[in-house]
Structure 1
Amino acid sequence: MPPNNTSGSSNVHEARNALGKRLRELRTTAGFTGRELAEFLSWPPSKISKLENGRQTPTDEDIREWTRATHSEAETDALLASLHTLEVQHAEWQRILRTGLKPRQQELIEWDQKTRLFRAFEATVIPGLLQTAEYARARFAEGIRRLKLPNDINDAVATRMRRQEILYRPDKRFHFVLTEAALRFRLCPSEVMLGQLDRLVSFSQLPNVRLGIIGFKTQYATSPWHGFWLYDEERVLVETFSAALDLRQPQEIELYSNAFEQLAAVASYGRSARTIINQIADDLAAEVTEDSD
């Protein structure tokens, strides 16, 4: 995959490798082999290798035990700071959603309040701020099933709907760019998707919302590798199957801003965008009618 698509995940990988390299330096300075340190800490030898080679992220307690064993307690605070920076950049869903889906939605509301310009590109799903309750329920149900999360789906849906109140604030601006595929993927029952398409048409007419659709016949200048959100010029959020990437380096924000502008430049807006949405709705409605005959 091209480097311009992997900047965020590459930086996370580099940060984990740098932390592992520092742990290895402390071990070798203390005169331990990997196996000797593992025996001293009552850890499997493979854990030492994984931590030092960036294949596993240490816990706070791992860091403290490591520095105690290697008589390098003076390094503990710096190592913990590096670890916590890494955890912000790469937050695994199993950790951040361990108490359910609602707290994550509440956290996003807090960021929504701070942000004036929202830019979002989605290649496969409808953005959360534009979802109907039924579509949101289907998305949350998938996450609960896939990640085996506590089931607080009703609270999560209600909180997501409350987030959407921000769309009506005149001091906020929103620019959404979606692929036609995101409108055609069958991620929920057809009747739910028909309601969702109707909601998109309504939202597209709000004065502070700009909704662009990239049709299948469009020639792309930048590949639609994955979805991402830009919050002002402060952060980029990228969601993967396993984690949420929270990117705040200036060069990463610039990279994603440029990618967004190139994707937005080839999208259709206004009446043209609504024509695409309505055609998809007509196609889907015809299928629903055929299935009911």
Structure 2
Amino acid sequence: MAVSASSSAQQARQTLADRLGEIRRDAGLTGRELAGACGWYPSKVSRIENARTPPSSEDIQAWCQACDAAGQAADLIASLRAVEGMWVEWRRMERIGLRAVQEARLPLFERTQRFRSYSSWLVPGLIQTRAYTEAVLRAVQRRRVTVDDVDAAVGARMERQRVLHRSATFAFLIEESVLRSGIGGTEVMAGQLGHLLSVATLPSVSLGVVPMRPDRHRMPVEGFWVFDSEQVNVELVSGHLTITQPREIAMYADAFAELAEHAVYGADARGLVTEALHTLG
């Protein structure tokens, strides 16, 4: 399991480690005795209980068996899978292609009522054109995915965009630089900018653009999505991070609110989009 800097993931790892420690103590075993029963080096028990080394499902089964708590193994293994899902490297997530990744996110999008999305790199997926999506996913596939199912992945993302037309609210914040450093070429980018002007008229959508200026008080950060107040997703260079810790979710919500104060909306936002479109010639 990859170790991330997220306190959500770390806290979840420590919670699992604490439960394993409680099981050992309830069984009246020392760490050395448990290690001996499992055929491990004594230090392995200490590393697991201090969340320095993540256990495998086999480790958990052996642990519970040695502590006469085999009935708890299934629940603990389920917790392990949940922790693993908080931080997933791209190579693991995309090992069978890009379509499955797009489809896996649909249930979350369908149940969310309030979307907040901030992007400092690309136009957010929900408001991308088909051509822009194809350019983005093709670039991803060339860089890190051996399976070429880009056409199917594009279709899955386009299908997900239907959530824009149901009873939910969508607040999109994008850096002005996103309007000016595109992907796919002039024609693709022109179509995308025109689409933003159209999307901004939807009654459920708020589109804010954070202008490029030399006196900002809130610097750009990594792009992220806030789904209601239940979950934050962050796409990093190395992998996909899911945050569920309330304190951390609140930090991203505060960051969104601060960035929103720097953004322009309505006619001013459309003016920046139009200016970028004219720059394309």
TM-score, normalized by the shorter chain, greater than 0.5: yes
Q: Deviations over 1:149-180 (max 9, x none)?
A: 422111110111111222223x1211100001
Amino acid at match of 1:180: E
Structure 2: stretches of 5+ with no match in the other structure = none
Equivalent in the alignment of 2:112: 115
Equivalent in the alignment of 2:161: 164
The answer as to whether partners of 1:123 and 1:178 remain within 8 angstroms in 2 is yes
**Structure 1: distance between partners of 2:56 and 2:111:** 30
C-alpha displacement at 1:190, in angstroms? Answer: 2.6
Amino acid at match of 1:164: Q
C-alpha displacement at 1:219, in angstroms? Answer: 4.3
**Structure 2: distance between partners of 1:54 and 1:220:** 40
C-alpha displacement at 1:65, in angstroms? Answer: 4.3
**Structure 1: distance between partners of 2:140 and 2:30:** 45
**Structure 2: distance between partners of 1:47 and 1:68:** 16
The CA RMSD measured in Å over matched residues stands at 3.3
The answer as to whether partners of 1:30 and 1:70 remain within 8 angstroms in 2 is no
Superposed counterparts of 1:174-185, under 5 Å: 174-185=170-181
Superposed counterparts of 1:122-137, under 5 Å: 122-137=119-134
Residue of structure 2 aligned with 1:203, choices 196, 199, 204: 199
C-alpha displacement at 1:33, in angstroms? Answer: 10
Equivalent in the alignment of 1:245: 241
**Structure 1: distance between partners of 2:148 and 2:47:** 33
**Cα 1:190/1:47, change in 2 over 3 Å:** farther
Number of aligned residue pairs: give it.
274
**Cα 1:84/1:193, change in 2 over 3 Å:** same
**Structure 1: distance between partners of 2:44 and 2:150:** 36
Equivalent in the alignment of 1:231: 227
**Structure 2: distance between partners of 1:228 and 1:22:** 31
Structure 1 position 270 matched with structure 2 position 271: no
**Structure 1: distance between partners of 2:67 and 2:138:** 46
C-alpha displacement at 1:70, in angstroms? Answer: 7.7
C-alpha displacement at 1:282, in angstroms? Answer: 1.8
Residue of structure 2 aligned with 1:16, choices 13, 17, 26: 13
Residue of structure 1 aligned with 2:102, choices 105, 109, 114: 105
C-alpha displacement at 1:255, in angstroms? Answer: 1.9
Q: Deviations over 1:63-109 (max 9, x none)?
A: 33455578774663454243123123223333333332222222322
**Structure 1: distance between partners of 2:53 and 2:220:** 30
> Which range moves more in the overlay, 126-135 or 52-61?
52-61
